Amino acid sequence: MPRFRYRALRPVGGEIEGELVADDAGAAASHLQSAGSFPIEIAPISGVAARARGNRRRRRLPQRELILFTRQLAALLAAGVALDRALHLVAGEHGRSRRALLAEALRAAVHRGESLSRAAVEHNAFIPAHAMVIAAGEARGDLAGALERLAAVLERNRTIRQSLIGALIYPASVLVVACLSVSFLLGFVVPRFATLLEGFRREPPLLMQGLLDVSYLVHDYGALAAAVVFALAALYVFKRRDAAFRIAVDRRLLALPAVGTLVRKIETERLAFLLGTMIAAGVAVPAAVAAARAAATNAALREGLGEAERAIERGDGVAQALAAPRLLPVLTLELVRVGEETGDLAPMLLKASDMLRQEIEATANEWVALVAPLSIVVLGLIIGAIALAIFSTVLEVYDVAT
């Protein structure tokens, strides 16, 4: 089915835009009207346009720079500075940095009469979900508050990412050191002992014979194994272009015992915080779910959110719709159900996000506490076994020489 890009007005005011799949432009317009929006512009997305948009995404402002830009603009607007003047101040403060270029581009768009939310999407500074938060703030006359909420979303995502990267740095560094050390010993040190033993016409000790066999395998088939790994990686990257393949792989990833649980929590935490922020900002629930679906990185979860979006548009409750794909944690769904029943959906989504964040950080700390000493022990055993084989060979050569 073709994909369309749309701009629409919300019933309470403000402009939203995004993408949807429909049979034709008329069906897309009916879909938006049934969700309570009023279409302004609907246009098909060609393959060339999609690739061009992908290229713009790769040039998006780094996360840290985007957070600083959002915080600065929010502070200036909260102090009563006009939007045009605030963008001018941000642009002038940072010379020709990417932050300044973004401020200049947004200021030029505002001068042309565009809203800040539309300008942000047009210049690809923010993803559609973030632009919807800005649009809701514009509709409510609280642009500074919307930018503060947006900065909180960006900082939350960056904090989670940094905590996970920090948890993986030490085990990854130990693994790299182990691979380099073993490769050096097997490729340069162990073969020299084979030559030495041949000169003395002695059979190598059992442990050294095992190392020599491994060394020969690496020498004879290492390049072939590397080529096979490279080919499989290239095939995987090529197959990732297929939506069905991405969904199948990501679904299997979520089904893994430990890693899948952690990935599910990370995706759900991001989803809950983004949904809670958008709903608190005044974005309609169907539009918020659609934007959260577009921001999801896991293809299986994105497909499930698409089903939930359609169920909400049919009139189903939010908790019931989110529970149908069976991808979100049970506790999160219970909190959503409670929030829907009490009329506090946004606070309960944010509460669920806080709880998941604490669980993610606790899990990351547990993994560090377990993997770090285990990796050191494994590295020590490997290097120790190689050292023992070399030492026993040296002693045997010494006995023969004397």
Q: Per residue in 137-195, pLDDT tens?
A: 887 888 888 889 888 888 888 888 887 787 778 778 878 887 888 878 777 777 777 77
DSSP state of 185: I
CB 25 within 8 A of CB 14: no
In this predicted structure, which of 103-112, 166-175, 309-318, 391-400 has the lowest mean pLDDT?
391-400
Residue 264 has pLDDT above 50, yes or no: yes
Q: Per residue in 1-50, pLDDT tens?
A: 577 777 776 655 456 677 776 777 777 777 776 766 766 677 776 543 44
> Which residue ranges make up each domain of the chain?
3-57, 61-155, 259-355
Thinking of the domain 61-155, which architecture would CATH place it in?
Up-down Bundle (1.20)
For residue 236, the model assigns a pLDDT of 92
CATH topology of domain 259-355: Receptor-associated Protein (1.20.81)
DSSP state of 18: E
For residue 215, the model assigns a pLDDT of 80
Kindly state the greatest CA–CA separation across the chain: 96
Nearest Cα neighbor of 329 from 349, 312, 299, 307 is 349
3-state secondary structure of 6: strand
The structure's pTM equals 0.69
Instruction: For residues 118 and 356, give the distance between their C-alpha atoms in angstroms, rounded to a whole number.
Output: 32
User: Which residues does 108 contact at the CB level (< 8 Å), separation at least 6?
Assistant: none
Residue 141 CB neighbours (<10 A): 10
Q: What is the mean pLDDT of the chain?
A: 81
Residue 120 CB neighbours (<10 A): 24
Q: Per residue in 360-381, pLDDT tens?
A: 888 888 887 887 788 788 888 8
Residue 235 has pLDDT above 90, yes or no: yes
Instruction: For residues 342 and 336, give the distance between their C-alpha atoms in angstroms, rounded to a whole number.
Output: 10
